[in-house]
Chain A
Amino acid sequence: MKKLLSLMLALALCLSAMIVPALAESDLAVAVVVAGTLGDRGFYDSSVEGLNQLVGDHGVASKVFECKEDASLYESSLYDAADTCNVVIAVGWQFWDYLATACAEYPEVKFIFIDNGLDGVGDNLMSIIYAQNEGSFLVGYIAAKLSKTGKIGVVGGEDAATINDFIVGYEAGAKYANPDVVVERQYAQTYEDPAKGKECALALYDGGCDIVFAVAGKTGEGVFEAAAETGNYAIGVDSDQKYINPDVILCSMVKQVGKSIYDVVADLDGKYQPGKIWTADMETGYIDVAYGTDDMVQQVSPELKAEVEALKAKIISGEIEVPTALN
């Protein structure tokens, strides 16, 4: 019995751990450790795209670790990654508690922390945070302009600073477009359950919202389904997600995690600044709004797109200061 159990556990473990080794052409081995599971067609997938591009262009060796939102794996995955690679990229604010010790343990490894800032920790950790509030401001503006009911919603993954940064920006943008607009929020408390996301979105649509911004990873897939089912609209996040369902997804708030990883790792001598927090923002082109490709249905009119471009310039010049939930 014991043997059987351990055999089955071992089997499950082998099946779950999908580590992809690659050919090494340079002496750089880069590991991406994601806090959740790949396949969110957004945040995590984008980071792996950046990694794959590094493999293609610079011939680095690569490894991907998935923690599946299992807190007991965060620390061990970081260590596993640091054992075999010399650049470790921790993708997800969840690694906050574990990076300081990991950095001390592996002083020769270069760590990059994505989506949350840790400063003053060691001289081998660089943090990259994103001005998601700026991009969310723009989609909030679009949502408020296109809303017929004057009520828009947002489904967040959980009540955490990074997610709230999206929501705060979204609300500010919506109010900027129309001070009377009502913004309702729902937290799904999970990034992995589309059914829950669907219920959250249905509750919002039911309450009179006609556009919902999904900021919840895979849970967001359910938001798109709810929009299609009720004949309302949704807004995508992290990548250009319009292709998932062009009829209901108006636009997406793009956060180019992969590009930021690529740019830093491709130019380690110039761009890797240990001990610093780098904010990838709209000015540097890492945050934007995307409307899919031209062959897809475009609900956002060219006039509105031009307004958004003007707003973008104002945000970059500092004329509009978007509130933030970070710090």
Chain B
Amino acid sequence: MNELASILNIGLLQNTLRTATPVVLCALGCLMTDHVGMMNIGCDGMMLIGAFAAVMGSWLGGSWMTGLLLALAIGLILGLFYGVFVIKLKSDEFIIGVALNIFAGGVTTFLLRELTGQSGTFHAPEGNLSVLPRLNAAWLDNIPVIGQIFNNNTLLVYVSWILVLVCWVLLYRTPAGFWFRSAGEHPQSLRSAGKSPEKMKYIASVLCGMLACLSGAHLSMGYLTTFSENMSNSRGFIAVACVIFGRSNPPKVFLAALLFGFIDALGMRLQTFGISSALTSTFPYIGTVLMMVLLVWRNEQKKKKLAVSGLR
């Protein structure tokens, strides 16, 4: 019992939140492209490039704001790039996504070595890198648990929560969101309403690039304070899984990401019980597969219900 308490503590919840945040930001971008029917699996690469751009921007510009701006600007370009290839040149979105992922690993490694002369991990030669500020509300500190979880996080953690809401409102409560979703579901009807599905797709793809790069910026300037080659470590793919599991609905995707973060954090703590680390590191992936099975099963149940109600 005592040992159980040592696992189920605040540290576990904090860990969950920290692990989930980069995934949430990236998944918000990915779900935009999913809504318009061109899901981007190159999020992982975009995240990595965003992480690199943020650190370079912060280093060259001397402030975390320049880092954030550079990451967003690069995200915009990457999004446009993806859009041009998939929408205009009609390439397969999966191939472009894979290409983006491979390209990201190469280009960040190359540029890191060319621009800074360092390899592996970047460290600012003149000392500390300017990183995202941590937000602190003194009155929250007095509340146990809540204060420890919701206080002292880096800026983009709060931004990610706001963005979940903003994305949901945008997609499900505004006309623009309606056009957005119809661009993926039924582009002809959108066109007959006088709106261009292509335009919607471009917007989605640019938003995806910017959000994925934002998640990269969080990874390198918030979560950590350094850039390291391949640091995204497949978090973008977990984000894609969360988007599928949460059916591209921002709050549901957010919960999926939290669930993933929780499993990951729990798995790590179970190592102390003598469970092999090789096994615990598979937990997030087993979790992902289970989530997918659950999703399919739920869909089947729904279909059956519909069929029954149709008979009546």
B173 part of interface (Cβ distance < 8 Å): no
Residues of B within 8 A of A12 (CB): 102-103, 105-107
B113 part of interface (Cβ distance < 8 Å): yes
Tell me if A200 and B268 are in contact (CB < 8 A).
Answer: yes
Residues of B within 8 A of A15 (CB): 106-107, 109-110
A15 to B19, CA, bound (A): 30
A23 part of interface (Cβ distance < 8 Å): no
- Given A186-B268, A194-B224, A39 contacting B119 (CB threshold 8 A): yes
Residues of A within 8 A of B107 (CB): 12, 15
B229 part of interface (Cβ distance < 8 Å): yes
A-B contact pairs, 8 of them (CB 8 A): A8-B103, A9-B99, A193-B233, A196-B233, A199-B19, A202-B11, A203-B265, A225-B226
Tell me if B271 and A187 are in contact (CB < 8 A).
Answer: yes
B130 part of interface (Cβ distance < 8 Å): no
A35 to chain B minimum Cβ distance, whole angstroms, is: 14
A184 part of interface (Cβ distance < 8 Å): yes
Q: Which one of B102, B118, B219, B278 contacts A159 once the chains associate, using CB atoms below 8 Å?
A: B278
The 8 A CB mask of B30-73 against A (1 = contact, 0 = none) is: 00000000000000000000000000000000000000000000
Residues of B within 8 A of A206 (CB): 9, 11
Instruction: Give the one of B91, B92, B121, B223 with max A CB within 10 A.
Output: B121
Interface residues of B in 63-109 (CB under 8 A from A): 91-92, 95, 99, 102-103, 105-107, 109
Tell me if B109 and A16 are in contact (CB < 8 A).
Answer: yes
A193 to B103, CA, bound (A): 19
A18 to B15, CA, bound (A): 36
B209 to chain A minimum Cβ distance, whole angstroms, is: 17
A217 to B181, CA, bound (A): 45
Interface residues of A in 64-80 (CB under 8 A from B): 68
Residues of B within 8 A of A18 (CB): 109-110, 113
B252 part of interface (Cβ distance < 8 Å): no
B149 to chain A minimum Cβ distance, whole angstroms, is: 13
Residues of A within 8 A of B95 (CB): 1, 5
Tell me if A37 and B120 are in contact (CB < 8 A).
Answer: yes
Tell me if A159 and B121 are in contact (CB < 8 A).
Answer: no
Q: Closest B residue to A16 by CB, please name it.
A: B106
Q: Point out residues on A near B: beta carbons under 8 Å.
A: 1, 4-5, 8-9, 11-16, 18, 37-41, 45, 68, 158-159, 184-187, 189-190, 192-196, 198-200, 202-203, 206-207, 218, 221-222, 225, 244
Q: Closest A residue to B85 by CB, please name it.
A: A4
Q: Is the interface on chain B under 10, 10 to 19, 20 to 34, or 35 or more residues?
A: 35 or more
B247 part of interface (Cβ distance < 8 Å): no
Tell me if B268 and A38 are in contact (CB < 8 A).
Answer: no
B6 part of interface (Cβ distance < 8 Å): yes
- Given A1-B92, A38-B120, A8 contacting B99 (CB threshold 8 A): yes
Residues of A within 8 A of B113 (CB): 18
Tell me if B228 and A192 are in contact (CB < 8 A).
Answer: yes
Residues of A within 8 A of B265 (CB): 199, 203
Q: Closest B residue to A39 by CB, please name it.
A: B120
A200 to B19, CA, bound (A): 12
A199 to B229, CA, bound (A): 18
Instruction: Give the one of B9, B277, B278 with max A CB within 10 A.
Output: B277
Interface residues of B in 221-279 (CB under 8 A from A): 223-226, 228-231, 233, 264-265, 268-269, 271-272, 276-278
Tell me if A37 and B119 are in contact (CB < 8 A).
Answer: yes
A40 to B272, CA, bound (A): 27
The 8 A CB mask of B103-140 against A (1 = contact, 0 = none) is: 10111011001000011110100000000000000000
B278 to chain A minimum Cβ distance, whole angstroms, is: 6
